[in-house]
Amino acid sequence: MVVLDLFSRQVVGFSMGERMTRALVIYALRVAWFRRRPAAGLIFHSDRGSQYVSEEFQRQLKAFGMKGSMSRKGDCWDNVVTETLFGSLKVERLQGMRFTTRRSAKDEVMDWLTSYNARRLHSTLGYLSPMAIEKKNLAGEIKSVA
């Protein structure tokens, strides 16, 4: 499970487990919040999975001052950025690999996510990496977001 910053495409929170549970998505959200400490009013977008509509997850959003947003029923395009990230992970790193342990699989994914944030170039970011675009933004080199 990942939490992406849509401005920079940076993975700001993630968690991995055997099943997609409420605890897994809440943990990823907490990691993202502690890394970024966003101002109240941030919009957190997700699909309509039971983990996201759960009372626990909704309480966590409220505690962080975030507003929830969910995909329209049957509309896969709402989550295209996240789906693209997972597609890239599969094609660029995991395709054809076999793992002897869950730990080795997790290590491979974490290594790729780290590399993705630092080095993966995006056409939507002017062929910069997520970390490079954030650095330019912090330096005041980005005037507007289209």
- How many whole angstroms separate alpha carbon 143 and alpha carbon 145? 7
Helix (H, G, I), strand (E, B) or coil at 65: coil
Is residue 31 within 8 A of residue 17, CB to CB? The reply is no
Q: What is the mean pLDDT of residues 121-130?
A: 95
16-27 pLDDT, tens digit per residue, is 999 999 999 999
pTM: 0.90
45-55 pLDDT, tens digit per residue, is 998 899 999 99
* Helices and strands in the chain, H and E counts: 6, 4
pLDDT of residue 77: 67
Domains of the chain: residue spans and CATH: 2-138 (3.30.420.10)
